[in-house]
Structure 1
Amino acid sequence: MKQRIVALAATSLFTAMVAGCASPGAPQGAADSIYMGGPILTMNDAQPNAEAVAVQGGRITAVGSRADVMKLQGPATRVVDLKGKTLLPGFVDPHSHLSVVGLQAVSANMLPSPDGNNDSVAQLQENLRRHMQTSPEARELGIVLGFGYDDSQLKEQRHPTREELDAISTTVPVMIIHQSSHFGVLNSVALRQAGISAATPNPQGGVIGRKTGSQEPNGLLEENAFFGAAMRLMPKLTEAQASGWLAKAQALYLQYGYTTVQDGRSSPDNVAQTIRASKAGVFKIDVVSYPDILELGDGSMMQSPYYSRDYTQHFRIGGVKMTLDGSPQGKTAWLSQPYYKAPEGKPADYAGYGVLTSDKANELMTQAFSKGWQVIAHANGDAAIDQLIGAVRVAQQRVPAAQDSRPVLIHGQTLRKDQVAQLDTLGIFPSLYPMHTFYWGDWHRDSVLGPQRAENISPTGWVLARGMRFTSHHDAPVAFPSSIRVLDATVNRTTRTGKVLGAEHRVDPATALKSLTLWAAYQHFEEGRKGSIEKGKLADFVVLSDNPVTMPRQQLSTLQVLETIKEDTSVYRAK
């Protein structure tokens, strides 16, 4: 079913009371609020557009014409004039890492243009020095953290070295995190504190970078080598610090219109911190967590009241995260065919690597199916996607009576056409990554995959051709949690240099908006209460500066989020 998604309509940032007399005596079921005065895009195929929406008790009570909805106006009803701006359902985040976005918020910005100015090693060093001198977090934590460097965008076209970070400090640990979050570079102090030396072997699913001709670490850590070192280096946060990080992360999502946010691959500490923050009233929006299936410990967190389809103080655990490979832009994703240009020091037939054996992946998937856990599985390379498909197939055979747990493929950047059919058959939901066509499209074409394979990264066209739904995500903190950047990339698929990558996979704006709203709610089993403006659903809204369905598609990147509304309460307004 090719989804033809109809126009949506608007809301606004500046809420204004509309003058007018309420009818004598409040009508039965009088609304708390009525939104009108701009296009309202509902994401409901049965009623794609509306003139007004009524809300009572944080839920939508009426959607329709202005004349009909205004009949619900009572003496105390707040009438919000959108003033021509566009109202949509609040955006639902299909995949990101809320806890790590908190880390990003207190780290030095290492992002390249246009989100930062780290386009050379020298600029990166300058920003780290400034951060070390001015950041209260660097002083409090005793470590200098930087987030978002990208070797493919640096002038030097390589990762920084431990010596270049030693130039920042030889007494304080320095750790910078790659934009993909799958790599890190450590200075000599940080390597010592992480227990990494020439005698340290590579862990399974990870690589310790070495200096040419020796076993001495060069500072670069890949995948599990980096994750293990980061866990050892990160200091224990106080309650106030942990809550503060989460509040700063939430603020980033709010300014992009998200009313539901995912915390993918949460550690036990992340889950505990997030629960404490929710009890303390930190969250204005809903947070759904997916703990790492390899870090469940005694499994108690999956038996707690928070493992539920319902939120408790804006938090719930939705299932588990499984990671099967790495990052294509970092050339650690597991491919079935070699990389177009092998990384330095790798043979010509290098194709990346997996994280788990297939037996282990099958075992974990079967465990999840037997317990009814939803699995969201990180698989970028097509070999890793083959492993995911195999694990789901085995789990369905071993647990034939399992309830619908709606397994999700996260990223699927090199998803093959034959694999799309298998996802459909097995009921695996694709959460794809078209935003990478902007950030790394040129790099994929020229170095990672080559022209032919790069055209088909995150192949939304193939998915739609089979009548399947999909979601489109930003994977923050890999990039800022920008709903507008996601929307633009999903529709236009233009690279940093302005070239279109994969024209057949461009979708119309209405379809792209569904991937950010109703289909994202479906991915989380929340389509009954979120994702569209329909009677009975939560009054979660976003107000945009223009109508994304009717404006020129090439101008979608100029859209602004003016207001974010959660259950009829304004939780963000643009300045």
Structure 2
Amino acid sequence: MRPVDLPRALVLSALAFSLNLQAAAPLPADTIYLHGDVVTMNDGQPSAQALAVRAGRIQAVGSEAEVRALQGAKTRVVDLKGQALLPGFVDAHGHVSLTGLQAVSANLLPPPDGKGSSVAAIQGLLRDYAKGPVARSHKIILGFGYDEAQLKERRAPTRQELDAVSKDLPVIIIHQSGHLGVLNSKALQLAGLNAETKDPEGGHIQREADGKTPNGVLEETAWFSAGMGLVQPSPQDYAAMLLEGQKLYAKFGFTTGQDGRSDEASNKTWVALSQGGKMLIDLVSYPDITLPFTAGLMDQPGGFWGREYKGGFRIGGVKLSLDGSPQGKTAFLTHPYHHPPAGKADDYRGYPALSDEATQQAVDQAYAKGWQLLVHTNGDAASDQMLRAVDAATAKYGAADRRTVMIHAQTVREDQLDAMKRLAVTPSFFGMHAYYWGDWHRDETLGPVRGDRISPAQSALRRQMIFTQHHDAPVAFPDAIAILDAVVNRRTRSGDILGPDQRLPVEVALKSITLWAAWQHFEEASKGSLEVGKLADLVVLSKNPLTVPPAQLRSIQVRETIKAGRSIYRAPAAR
């Protein structure tokens, strides 16, 4: 029987219909996740049964049947076994480069993160470190994380106590806040510090009983210039440190990190890592606006400043620091410290890092150039400095979507929150202070009334403000679960509840380290929630934070971290 000759138009129409069907058919997923709690951070679809990933992005979020329809012959199926799948955590403020430095230093942190509970314990930890490869090869003894608030002696170690560890090698220990440090006699000599050295602007060299001889403790700009100036790793060592910092972030579920107040050496190393394809997570850098190299870096044609990542790295804006730390009693307050430091008058309020004039110049520069600005203010007097400068700069350069951020905002007042909302300044709170230094603030630095209001996130929530929470690593470990526990419970080391009216609901706390943190970085279109088309930046948790009792949040463990669909960390038991 002869085949029927179909009209050419009909053949072409059938062919076109077939091609359209093929084009409309979805491609199979690379990976699908099933049998767990999918917590999306998307108000339009808060939860789901399953999620599909293709080419590093989220392909589908929905029911198991909907996602199973995307399963192909080569699709990897992950059984979550009742665990929770969330967006990868986004670092609202931290210092990944310094976290790498912490990784190669002696751990002097107090319990529960270390064993630095006394001066004698610190000396023992440093002596053990001196026997290790870093100290032997680099001829330096370096420790990180001492905190006089948790030491038995309630004071910093002295240069003589560090001399007891070594008189021949420089011994340098870094305060947990990162704003102070102690040098032994050898390190003081190498730094050129002696009885004739004057205090730098915005810093202080603590002295012995004669009022002249340095006792080893350096504060703020004195520490940053002299103490940290002695810690200069080679380019190869720096690259290794930054890789270690990224690994630590991934271990705690972070897929985006921040290098706040970065310097020239760290930015050069980040560029080298990104060009060499060695970025594990996305990294946003904010160089210090007061450093000479920053303007050239920001204005460099074809450089890394902008909204798009190049090899996992970009420069998001600039950082400005206006004071120190409350736990170190260097934050700039409007009212005196509850108990001033030894040798200080009763009206001691800390001190500013910059003059009002220098602050205004820096803010004006950022606003004129269109650079996003992150401003470190712990004390409310420093916050006043910032808000006055932002108000004046806004009047000069007009309102815009700048997403200016007040970093820490520890002691910010209610009237200041009103001003922040008016000026579109976003607070990024260091709510972990409630646990780590809550007792210290209540009894020593701020007193019970101001201590109860530290990191007042609930006050910002009542004003319907977007805000973020951060860890400020290496001040604390980059631990998202510890952030959740601290801001939801506000339980101190001693078990006290610090400011119960400032506690946050779990879902709000989660947004502050996912979707709202992505928004802070201008990345809400690609990160922070589990929605179709966004990057497959994911974290698998042992339990769903929304369903465990708040008191048990700290028991949640990170099982796996996935960056753009690729696993970058698996907990040992999950390997």
Instruction: Give the TM-score band, short-chain normalised.
Output: over 0.9
User: 1:363: which partner in 2?
Assistant: 361
User: 1:91: which partner in 2?
Assistant: 89
Candidates 273, 290, 303, aligned match of 2:269: 273
Q: Secondary structure at the match of 1:265?
A: strand
Q: Secondary structure at the match of 1:196?
A: coil
Greater alpha carbon shift after TM alignment, 480-489 vs 239-248: 239-248
Counterparts in 2 of 1:162-241, with a 5 A limit?
Answer: 162-235=159-232, 237-241=233-237
User: 1:3: which partner in 2?
Assistant: none
User: 1:518: which partner in 2?
Assistant: 515
**TM-score relative to the length of structure 2:** 0.94
Question: Structure 2 regions of 5+ residues with no counterpart?
Answer: 1-21
User: 1:63: which partner in 2?
Assistant: 61
Which structure 1 residue ranges, 4+ long, deviate > 4 Å from structure 2? 24-27
Instruction: Report whether the alignment pairs 1:507 with 2:478.
Output: no
- In structure 1, C-alpha distance between the alignment counterparts of 2:41 and 2:210, rounded to whole Å: 59
Aligned AA (1:483) = A
User: 1:263: which partner in 2?
Assistant: 259
- In structure 2, C-alpha distance between the alignment counterparts of 1:211 and 1:284, rounded to whole Å: 46
- In structure 2, C-alpha distance between the alignment counterparts of 1:458 and 1:390, rounded to whole Å: 21
Candidates 450, 456, 467, aligned match of 1:453: 450
- In structure 1, C-alpha distance between the alignment counterparts of 2:488 and 2:363, rounded to whole Å: 33
Candidates 422, 426, 429, aligned match of 1:425: 422
Question: What's the CA shift for 1:239?
Answer: 3.0
Aligned AA (1:406) = R
Aligned AA (2:110) = P
Q: Secondary structure at the match of 1:293?
A: coil
Question: What's the CA shift for 1:250?
Answer: 1.1
Residue deviations 1:11-70 (CA, integer Å, cap 9, x gap) = xxxxxxxxxxxxx99953221111111000000000000111111111112111111122
Residue deviations 1:291-322 (CA, integer Å, cap 9, x gap) = 00011426221134210101111100000000
User: 1:4: which partner in 2?
Assistant: none
**Percent same amino acid among aligned pairs?**
54
User: 1:309: which partner in 2?
Assistant: 307
- In structure 2, C-alpha distance between the alignment counterparts of 1:449 and 1:214, rounded to whole Å: 27
Cα distance, 1:40–1:300 mapped onto 2, change above 3 Å? same
Instruction: Report whether the alignment pairs 1:253 with 2:257.
Output: no
- In structure 1, C-alpha distance between the alignment counterparts of 2:262 and 2:292, rounded to whole Å: 10
Q: Secondary structure at the match of 2:131?
A: helix
Paired residues of 2:289 and 2:295 also in contact (CA < 8 A):
no
Paired residues of 2:260 and 2:319 also in contact (CA < 8 A):
yes
Question: Structure 1 regions of 5+ residues with no counterpart?
Answer: 1-23
User: 1:7: which partner in 2?
Assistant: none
- In structure 2, C-alpha distance between the alignment counterparts of 1:432 and 1:231, rounded to whole Å: 26
- In structure 1, C-alpha distance between the alignment counterparts of 2:364 and 2:34, rounded to whole Å: 49
Aligned residue pairs, count:
549
Counterparts in 2 of 1:313-324, with a 5 A limit?
Answer: 313-324=311-322
Question: What's the CA shift for 1:403?
Answer: 3.8
Q: Secondary structure at the match of 1:192?
A: helix
Paired residues of 1:25 and 1:74 also in contact (CA < 8 A):
no
Aligned AA (1:458) = S
Counterparts in 2 of 1:523-534, with a 5 A limit?
Answer: 523-534=520-531
Q: Secondary structure at the match of 2:384?
A: helix
Instruction: Report whether the alignment pairs 1:41 with 2:39.
Output: yes
User: 1:19: which partner in 2?
Assistant: none
Larger RCO (alpha carbons 8 Å, 6+ apart): 1
Q: Secondary structure at the match of 2:42?
A: coil
Residue deviations 1:305-354 (CA, integer Å, cap 9, x gap) = 21010111110000000000000001000000000011100000000000
- Greater radius of gyration (CA): 2
- In structure 2, C-alpha distance between the alignment counterparts of 1:133 and 1:45, rounded to whole Å: 54
- In structure 2, C-alpha distance between the alignment counterparts of 1:358 and 1:201, rounded to whole Å: 22
Instruction: Report whether the alignment pairs 1:242 with 2:238.
Output: yes
- In structure 2, C-alpha distance between the alignment counterparts of 1:241 and 1:360, rounded to whole Å: 35
User: 2:19: which partner in 1?
Assistant: none
Candidates 115, 131, 138, aligned match of 1:141: 138
Paired residues of 1:291 and 1:320 also in contact (CA < 8 A):
yes
- In structure 2, C-alpha distance between the alignment counterparts of 1:429 and 1:129, rounded to whole Å: 44
Greater alpha carbon shift after TM alignment, 253-262 vs 276-285: 276-285
Residue deviations 1:202-244 (CA, integer Å, cap 9, x gap) = 0000000100133011001000000011343123x33321111
Aligned AA (2:439) = D
Paired residues of 1:308 and 1:318 also in contact (CA < 8 A):
yes
Paired residues of 2:288 and 2:294 also in contact (CA < 8 A):
no
Instruction: Report whether the alignment pairs 1:30 with 2:20.
Output: no
User: 2:12: which partner in 1?
Assistant: none
Question: What's the CA shift for 1:368?
Answer: 0.3
Counterparts in 2 of 1:260-409, with a 5 A limit?
Answer: 260-297=256-293, 299-304=295-300, 305-400=303-398, 403-409=400-406
Q: Secondary structure at the match of 1:510?
A: helix
Paired residues of 1:95 and 1:474 also in contact (CA < 8 A):
yes
Residue deviations 1:243-285 (CA, integer Å, cap 9, x gap) = 1111111111111000000000000111001111222222111
